[in-house]
A and B are shown apart, each in its own frame.
Chain A
Amino acid sequence: MKILVLGVGNLILRDDGVGVHVVNELKTQIQHPNIDLEEAITGGMNLLDLLLGYDKAIIIDAVKSDDSKNGEVKRIDIRDFNTMHSCNPHDVSLIEAIEMAKKLGEDRIPKEIIIIGIMMEKIPCEFGENLSENIAAAVPKAVRLTLDEIEKDIKISS
């Protein structure tokens, strides 16, 4: 059983970087040969490349949502996203990328892909390295939820 924990986001776009902040915190808590902690500033095809070969992937990312509270943290199975776009104008969504890989006979796609989503009403469009108050407060919650998700499969002794 190999698990990838992937924080996705852009550290120079304020709250957008929250996934990376969460993974950096997790790095101080987890050391396990079967758990890889990585960060990525990419979507779609490139994101899929990073997931290949793992049994389970946990992606921590900002999720834009109109009907959630700013800073709420949710566990979402990727199968429950009916549409998902990498918010990158020049790429396909991760779901499209996965579907395509399946069609082409790719057999290294993780059986389980879980999103730990930090909800926000608006994705910031201003440069900066700090998180806003609500989103900073969501980091420990997201850390907890990720640890719970990992422990369903691998016990972390700490």
Chain B
Amino acid sequence: MKTVTIDPITRLEGHGKISIFLNDKGDVDNAYLQIPELRGFERFSQGRRAEDMPQITSRICGVCPVAHHFAATKALDAAFNVDPPSAAKKLRELMYMGYFIYDHILHFYYLGGPDFVVGPDAPPEKRNVIGVIEKAGVDIGKEVIKHRAYGQKITAILGGKATHPVCGLPGGVSKGLNKDEVKDIDTMVKSCINFAKFSLKLFDDIVLQNKNYVDIILSDPYQLATYNMGLVDKNNKANFYDGIIRVTDQNGDEKLKFEVNDYYKHIAERVEEWSYIKFPYLKAIGWNGFTDGKDSGIYRVGPLGRLNACEGMATTEANKEYKRFFETLGGKSVNSTLAFHWARLIELLYATERAQELIKDSEITSQKIRNPVGEPGEGMGVTEAARGTLIHHYKLTKDGLIDKANLIVATTNNSGAINMSIRDAARGVIKGGDVSNATLNMVEMAFRAYDPCFACATHSLPGGMPLEVKIYDNKRRLLKTLKQNL
């Protein structure tokens, strides 16, 4: 048996490692993504002041600090038995839209986009944001930078700091908005709406009008018919900041709907000896190995999961795009892993439109932004991180210190699906032992679509090679090492 190892993964680094096992014919037998999980969070949190959790957890992950910040804050609302004033909820949600704006722009143009905009067959050294700018033009590059910065600025105005917000408190937020800030945000949001529309048009022109790309999107190796999960409002429209967890089946019909507090009743976690990360599945369906279809409890979260799990977007233009998405890709559910990229841009448009609704809301300048807390107890909080459903669960002592803390992060929810997508993509592109750099990229594209966060937000500067491929013969002797720089 041959073993192919992709380590570490370019562009989506963390410390992920892909191992592909070939059979005697040189075809793919199986593939595994290994992710070392950050350890010791529960012990680390124990005995700390509960109100510090929004700050501490926003440092867990350099990728989704705002999502952790508010999942933590909402868990504290519940643990202190307090409902924040409606103005505070709107301020939080507005800030959350700023986070989605910069996060989704970053992923599309810098990380996932290069595969399409520059092309999946382009040489690796061109498949990055520089390549995107060369193809799309310097003027568009400037627009990308500008609007990503707007998202960050909106977050910073509301959160105190762009990357690690300090505004979330149990029962509300620490800071309101004044009229000048409202004016600034309004101007930025207007511009972001146009940029989101432009991005969807760019996707249309470059990807959807290109038959080769559409063929790849619709090709078998990139299809996965799992269940889908996401937060929805009372009208079953997608919501990122708050709502009820909804799960739909392969036809887009509702399978489950539950409050975050019932999460443990519906979700179980499978442990595999080769992985640190757990594989959640729906209890009602059960674990059926790494398979998709109706009999497998594996589900997907994130942009595609959310669009499949809801019945539309709550804003006008985004909802039009939502309808076009399903019309173009053959109705519900859309199972193409690469459709995550398109779904992400539709969500970008929704985030900008929702931000406009919120900034124009007369209550947004209200100074009633906090309610007094009750007695400390236990609470769970859920948000949609840019890459999927995120849950924080705390148990407090009677003095308001952390007794127990547990987090279920987005990428964990997607772990079963990511693993299958890698395997299927590998099966589709590696035949007869032929493993070129281009085929490896096709495998990477499969999981890059999920925008996974490997929970490892260390910011060290690795000096090693960004991509290393090791090929072993059937006796596990190293035959060849391929190295690739970006």
A binding-site residues for B, Cβ under 8 Å:
8-13, 16, 40-43, 45-46, 49, 61-66, 68, 81-94, 96, 99-100, 103-105, 115, 117, 120, 123-128
Which chain A residue shows the least CB distance to B43? A127
Q: Pick from B37, B59, B60, B465: contact of A83, CB below 8 A.
A: B465
- 1/0 contact trace for B446-460 toward A, CB 8 Å? 000001111011111
Q: Point out the residues of chain A lying under 8 angstroms from B460, CB to CB.
A: 9, 16, 61-64, 87, 120, 123
Q: Point out the residues of chain A lying under 8 angstroms from B37, CB to CB.
A: 125
> B129 on the interface (CB 8 Å rule)?
yes
Q: Is the CB of A11 within 8 A of B466?
A: no
- What are 13 sample pairs from A and B whose C-beta atoms fall under 8 A apart? A8-B459, A10-B458, A65-B464, A66-B463, A85-B466, A87-B456, A87-B458, A88-B14, A92-B129, A96-B128, A96-B486, A100-B133, A104-B142
Q: Point out the residues of chain A lying under 8 angstroms from B479, CB to CB.
A: none
Q: Is the CB of A125 within 8 A of B36?
A: yes
10 additional A-B pairs beyond A46-B152, A89-B14, beta carbons within 8 Å, are: A9-B459, A10-B458, A10-B459, A43-B62, A85-B461, A92-B111, A94-B461, A103-B138, A123-B462, A127-B38
> B253 on the interface (CB 8 Å rule)?
no
> B13 on the interface (CB 8 Å rule)?
yes
Given contacts A43-B62, A92-B129, A125-B15, contact A84 B461 (CB under 8 A): yes
Separation of A120 and B14 alpha carbons in the complex (Å)? 16
Q: Point out the residues of chain A lying under 8 angstroms from B145, CB to CB.
A: 104
> B397 on the interface (CB 8 Å rule)?
no
Which chain B residue shows the least CB distance to A94? B461
Q: Is the CB of B485 within 8 A of A92?
A: no
Min Cβ gap A32→B in Å is 25
Q: Point out the residues of chain A lying under 8 angstroms from B451, CB to CB.
A: 90
Closest 5 CB pairs of A and B: A127-B44, A62-B460, A90-B63, A64-B462, A65-B463
Q: Tell me what chain B mostly uses at the interface: helix, strand, loop, or mixed.
A: loop
> B85 on the interface (CB 8 Å rule)?
no
Q: Point out the residues of chain B lying under 8 angstroms from A81, CB to CB.
A: 461, 463
Q: Is the CB of A128 within 8 A of B459?
A: no
Q: Is the CB of A64 within 8 A of B464?
A: yes
Most central of B59, B451, B452 by chain A CB within 10 Å: B59
Q: Point out the residues of chain A lying under 8 angstroms from B149, CB to CB.
A: 49
Separation of A98 and B130 alpha carbons in the complex (Å)? 10
> B41 on the interface (CB 8 Å rule)?
yes
Q: Point out the residues of chain A lying under 8 angstroms from B462, CB to CB.
A: 63-65, 84-85, 87, 123
Q: Is the CB of A92 within 8 A of B459?
A: no
Of B102-110, B229-237, B292-300, the one touching chain A: B102-110
Given contacts A42-B163, A83-B486, A125-B36, contact A10 B463 (CB under 8 A): no
> B418 on the interface (CB 8 Å rule)?
no
Q: Is the CB of A87 within 8 A of B14?
A: yes
Separation of A10 and B38 alpha carbons in the complex (Å)? 13
Given contacts A41-B62, A89-B453, contact A125 B39 (CB under 8 A): yes
Q: Pick from B56, B59, B163: contact of A46, CB below 8 A.
A: B163
Q: Point out the residues of chain B lying under 8 angstroms from A11, CB to CB.
A: 59
Q: Is the CB of A16 within 8 A of B458?
A: yes
Given contacts A88-B457, A90-B106, A105-B138, contact A83 B485 (CB under 8 A): yes
Separation of A105 and B141 alpha carbons in the complex (Å)? 11
Q: Point out the residues of chain A lying under 8 angstroms from B40, CB to CB.
A: 126-128
Given contacts A90-B106, A100-B130, contact A61 B138 (CB under 8 A): no
Q: Point out the residues of chain A lying under 8 angstroms from B107, CB to CB.
A: 90
Which chain A residue shows the least CB distance to B133? A103
Min Cβ gap A127→B in Å is 4
Separation of A90 and B148 alpha carbons in the complex (Å)? 14
Q: Is the CB of B463 within 8 A of A91?
A: no
> B1 on the interface (CB 8 Å rule)?
no
Min Cβ gap B339→A in Å is 20
Q: Is the CB of A87 within 8 A of B459?
A: yes
Which chain B residue shows the least CB distance to A97? B129
Q: Point out the residues of chain A lying under 8 angstroms from B41, CB to CB.
A: 127
Separation of A23 and B37 alpha carbons in the complex (Å)? 28
Separation of A104 and B452 alpha carbons in the complex (Å)? 28
Q: Is the CB of A89 within 8 A of B44?
A: no
Min Cβ gap B451→A in Å is 7
Min Cβ gap A42→B in Å is 5
Which chain A residue shows the least CB distance to B132? A100
Q: Is the CB of B62 within 8 A of A88?
A: yes
Q: Pick from A9, A63, A64, A126: contact of B38, CB below 8 A.
A: A126
Q: Is the CB of B133 within 8 A of A104?
A: yes
Q: Is the CB of A13 within 8 A of B458?
A: yes
Min Cβ gap B116→A in Å is 17
Q: Is the CB of A126 within 8 A of B128?
A: no
Q: Is the CB of A89 within 8 A of B56?
A: no
Given contacts A10-B459, A62-B458, A87-B456, contact A92 B110 (CB under 8 A): yes
> B425 on the interface (CB 8 Å rule)?
no
- 1/0 contact trace for B294-309 toward A, CB 8 Å? 0000000000000000
Which chain A residue shows the least CB distance to B142? A104
Which chain A residue shows the least CB distance to B149? A49
Separation of A89 and B60 alpha carbons in the complex (Å)? 13
Min Cβ gap B324→A in Å is 27
Q: Point out the residues of chain A lying under 8 angstroms from B129, CB to CB.
A: 92, 96, 100
Q: Is the CB of B130 within 8 A of A96?
A: yes
> B69 on the interface (CB 8 Å rule)?
no
Separation of A84 and B41 alpha carbons in the complex (Å)? 28
Which chain B residue shows the least CB distance to A124? B458
Q: Point out the residues of chain A lying under 8 angstroms from B13, CB to CB.
A: 85-89
Most central of B36, B145, B465 by chain A CB within 10 Å: B145
Given contacts A10-B59, A12-B44, contact A41 B454 (CB under 8 A): no
Which chain B residue shows the least CB distance to A101? B145
Min Cβ gap B141→A in Å is 5
